[in-house]
């Protein structure tokens, strides 16, 4: 690397936009210790561009972006384009103390609380869908033709993700036009959210190099399937065994796992304010859209908010190592640190409250009668971002996961988004957010 090459020191803000400052590589060693300047009002920037007004920060205060050297990512230069070099940062006070609105520290605190309270470690993976914004007619969904048309992008992006250390598992075409998905291997809770940020930025980088644009927006077209983020979560005891597995119970979900799942479902409406927080998000989370049309737990069912993926016994597969929960109600407008922390805290509340395990939906929600549909929460997620924010405000437990300052800052950003898009219909909203994410 040349000493004049730039290294980006970045954080993911409340609107899931990656922001930061770049320094020459020659200065990096000193910046690892002292970071670079930042200001609280940067956390009031909205995805639409302007600063949210009012916001709790104003023009006062100073912070630092403090790099975590272990998160350094490199994507090699190619065809005259400089290498992408970035390091994820914590947002800290000028004396190094954690800043109470740092999303990364919010997740770190959650993971520490989980371990301190129950001696349990969380591992996770963010499975993200995106679309290449192209004018050409799409190939058929899930087809090899769709994958081959994506070359050389497909191979280039997988190569870059390997170089970046995200451990990609597969590349495949999805249902919507020019839509693809790249699952990555599980990692510790904080590292999994870091990977989520890195995957998005690497995909965007390679798309730019190929003369295209990649969008992770929740919904590009109201008539099409949208782009979700499926958060796969497992909880391990001190010996590395899953706390969620019990081969003698329905769907092999342990009593502990059932209580954890019940907590997530209990707080589902409030969670949507943090996991699906764009003005277009709610339109994707509707019945019959293969997203999360029912606020329930299900096995092998892609209409449920919370799913137990299939256990595979082929080639000696061990169900005890495979069983985990998949939260299907998130998208790329969510800050991954806030989203994962909130899901864990919701589940922890279910465990502490000793909630009974929820019933497991065993069929398509479309087959349910009215009483059953109500029992399984079909269509029960908030119908808009405004409704989701109201649900968060009314859920004292969920609202209490955030400090008052963090809650006020988050609310100001989201209310500014609503005000800034109030005159747009859904199609116009989709166009606007396709350009943002």
For residue 29, the domain's CATH number is 3.10.20.70
Residues 279 and 238 in one domain: yes
Domain boundary among 81, 101, 121: 101
Residues 83 and 152 in one domain: no
Could you give the CA distance from residue 92 to residue 35 in angstroms, rounded to a whole number? Answer: 9
Residues 311 and 327 in one domain: yes
The residue ranges of the chain whose pLDDT is under 50 are none
Could you give the CA distance from residue 412 to residue 279 in angstroms, rounded to a whole number? Answer: 14
What stretches of 150-306 show up as alpha helix (H) in DSSP?
Answer: 153-163, 189-209, 255-266, 268-275, 281-284
Helix axes 103-118, 189-209, angle to 10 degrees: 150
Could you give the CA distance from residue 348 to residue 424 in angstroms, rounded to a whole number? Answer: 38
- The conformation of residue 27, written as its DSSP 8-state character, comes to G
Q: Which residues constitute the domain of residue 299? A: 105-396+432-436
- pLDDT 10s digits, 324-367: 999 999 999 999 999 999 999 999 999 999 999 999 988 887 78
Residues 194 and 336 in one domain: yes
Domain boundary among 101, 126, 146: 101
Residues 237 and 320 in one domain: yes
Position 349 scores a pLDDT of 98
Position 436 scores a pLDDT of 97
Q: Rg of the chain over CA atoms, in angstroms?
A: 21
- Asked, for residue 267, whether it belongs to a domain, the answer is yes
Residues 43 and 140 in one domain: no
Q: How many structural domains is the chain composed of? A: 2
Could you give the CA distance from residue 259 to residue 331 in angstroms, rounded to a whole number? Answer: 25
Residues 181 and 272 in one domain: yes
* CATH number (domain holding residue 350): 3.30.590.10
Position 303 scores a pLDDT of 86
Number of H helices and number of E strands within the chain?
15, 16
Residues 80 and 211 in one domain: no
- Asked, for residue 85, whether it belongs to a domain, the answer is yes
Read off the pTM: 0.96
- Asked, for residue 262, whether it belongs to a domain, the answer is yes
Residues 166 and 94 in one domain: no
Residues 183 and 308 in one domain: yes
Residues 303 and 390 in one domain: yes
- Asked, for residue 236, whether it belongs to a domain, the answer is yes
- Asked, for residue 426, whether it belongs to a domain, the answer is no
Domain boundary among 101, 130, 145: 101
Position 363 scores a pLDDT of 82
Among 266, 274, 269, which residue's Cα sits nearest to residue 354? 266
Q: Cβ(379)–Cβ(287) under 8 Å?
A: yes
Residue 187: alpha-carbon gap to chain centroid: 14
- Asked, for residue 419, whether it belongs to a domain, the answer is no
- Asked, for residue 287, whether it belongs to a domain, the answer is yes
Could you give the CA distance from residue 275 to residue 271 in angstroms, rounded to a whole number? Answer: 6
- Asked, for residue 403, whether it belongs to a domain, the answer is no
Residues 206 and 85 in one domain: no
């Amino acid at each position: 690397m040349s000493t004049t090459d730039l290294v980006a020191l970045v954080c993911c803000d409340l609107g899931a936009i990656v922001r930061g400052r770049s320094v020459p590589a020659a200065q990096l060693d000193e910046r690892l210790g002292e970071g670079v300047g930042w200001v609280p009002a940067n956390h009031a920037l909205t995805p639409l561009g302007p600063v949210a007004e009012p916001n709790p920060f104003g023009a006062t205060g100073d912070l630092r972006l403090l790099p975590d050297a272990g998160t350094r990512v490199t994507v090699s230069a190619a065809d005259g384009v400089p290498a992408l070099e970035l390091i994820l940062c914590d947002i800290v006070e000028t004396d190094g103390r954690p800043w109470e609105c740092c999303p990364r520290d919010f997740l770190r605190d959650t993971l520490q609380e989980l371990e301190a309270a129950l001696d349990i470690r969380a591992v996770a993976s963010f499975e993200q869908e995106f679309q290449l914004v192209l004018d050409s007619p799409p190939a058929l969904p899930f087809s090899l033709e769709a994958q081959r048309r994506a070359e050389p992008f497909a191979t280039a992006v997988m190569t870059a993700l390997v170089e970046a250390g995200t451990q990609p598992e597969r590349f495949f075409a999805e249902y919507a036009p020019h839509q693809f998905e790249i699952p990555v291997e599980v990692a510790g809770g904080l590292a999994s959210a870091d990977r989520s940020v890195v995957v998005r930025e690497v995909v965007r980088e390679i798309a730019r190099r190929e003369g295209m644009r990649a969008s992770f927006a929740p919904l590009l077209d109201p008539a099409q399937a949208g782009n979700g983020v499926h958060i796969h979560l497992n909880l391990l005891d001190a010996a590395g065994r899953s706390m969620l597995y019990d081969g003698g119970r329905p769907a092999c979900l342990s009593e502990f796992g059932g209580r954890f799942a019940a907590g997530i479902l209990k707080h589902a409406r409030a969670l949507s304010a943090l996991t699906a927080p764009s003005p277009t998000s709610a339109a994707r989370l509707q019945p019959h859209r293969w997203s999360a049309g029912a606020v329930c737990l299900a096995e092998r069912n892609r209409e449920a908010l919370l799913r137990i993926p299939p256990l595979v016994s082929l080639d000696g597969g061990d169900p005890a190592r495979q069983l985990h929960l998949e939260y299907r109600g998130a998208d790329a407008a969510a800050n991954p640190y806030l989203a994962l922390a909130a899901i864990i805290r919701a589940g922890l509340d279910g465990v502490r409250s000793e909630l009974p395990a929820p019933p497991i939906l065993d069929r398509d929600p479309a087959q349910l009668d009215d009483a059953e549909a109500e029992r399984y929460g079909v269509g029960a997620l908030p119908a808009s971002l405004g409704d989701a924010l109201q649900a968060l405000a009314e859920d004292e437990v969920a609202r209490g996961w955030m400090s008052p300052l963090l809650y006020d800052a988050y609310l100001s950003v989201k209310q500014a988004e609503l005000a800034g898009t109030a005159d747009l219909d859904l199609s116009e909203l989709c166009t606007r957010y396709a350009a943002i994410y």
